Amino acid sequence: MLVQGDVIPRASATIIFIVTGTVGGLNEDFKSIHTFDLDGNRETIQSEWFQTISLDRRDQREWANFDGTQLIYVFLHDTMMHSDSLTRAGLQHNRVGPAAISGYRRFWSPVPAEASNGSVLASGLAPSSGNNVHGLVVIADYLQLAHLDRSRLIGERSDVTRRIIWPPGAEPPQPFRVFSYVVTSPHTIATARYSRRRMAAAFRRREAELSEAASQVGDDCEQDVAAFLEGSEHQIRRLAR
């Protein structure tokens, strides 16, 4: 323990910088800790190490000196669980494993034409007391989280850390946060309408994609999705005009 006025050799001195703030564009708090040895034979502190990190650029060198201390996880529940989707999102090596979320249910929603990107139907999560949904947890950095924010068709990013049910022994070490994309109110569910024929065709495609994605996660997720799809036909008819 050091007392004010003590002198220690530079060769054995270490400075610890703790930086807290808010990630622009995500409105999420972060804490970064980085240590610097003052030994002249090692790396020295340079002003270039303190920089603004852009969320929109893909140059990973910007993140080289950023050591986040709070791990960020994302709970995926739809076709994003599929290995192909994870690859496109740059998350193929970020799989943590299966988990469940409490207090939500799956539902189908038509996608508004202006946001559909060719798809007219997507599955989402809505609050539902007493229900659990099985899915996949991946680890993500702030850059990947920003990309997911822009790519989601249904729901908004919410902190669901306390709602995640981890398999025995699978809960990560603290501290961490888990996000997912959920509908917080029934009034935010899309009300776009497409023809019954178009909705039926979209459902067949989504059914196959979601089933395959669930099979890659595990038995619990596969059974969960199968039960959801079995009761989907009536809802799809109600969504069509």
Domains and CATH numbers, the chain: 10-63 (no CATH), 71-239 (3.10.490.10)
Sign of CA dihedral 20, 21, 22, 23: negative
Residue 76 has pLDDT above 80, yes or no: yes
Residue 6 has pLDDT above 70, yes or no: no
Spatial CA neighbour of 164 closest among 206, 211, 194, 132: 132
Query: What are φ and ψ of residue 210, in 5° steps?
Result: -70, -40
Q: Judge whether residue 204 has pLDDT over 70.
A: yes
| Of 152 and 47, more confident | 152
C-alpha–C-alpha distance, residues 219 and 233, integer Å: 23
Mean pLDDT of 34-51: 53
18 within 8 A of 139, measured Cβ to Cβ? no
The confidence score (pLDDT) of residue 22 equals 75
Q: Is there a contact between 184 and 158 (Cβ–Cβ < 8 Å)?
A: yes
Q: Rounded distance, CA 218 to CA 222, Å?
A: 6
**pLDDT at residue number 65:** 46
- Contacts (Cβ under 8 Å, ≥6 apart) of 240: 193, 194, 195, 196, 198, 199, 200
Tens digits of residue pLDDT in 190-201: 556 678 888 888
Q: Which residues, in sequence order, are bridge partners of residue 28?
A: 23
Per-residue pLDDT tens digits for 12-25:
677 776 777 777 66
Yes or no: say if 80 and 89 are a contact pair by the CB < 8 Å rule: yes
Whether the CB-CB separation of 45 and 26 falls below 8 Å is answered with no
Q: Give the mean model confidence (pLDDT) for residues 86-94.
A: 89
Q: Is the per-residue pLDDT at 74 higher than 50?
A: yes
Residue 68's pLDDT is: 52
Residues 93-151 have pLDDT tens digits of: 889 999 999 999 999 988 765 555 667 788 899 999 999 999 999 998 878 888 888 88
Residue 34, SS3 per DSSP: strand
Q: What percent of the chain has pLDDT over 90?
A: 35
At 141 the pLDDT is 82
pTM recorded for the entire structure: 0.72
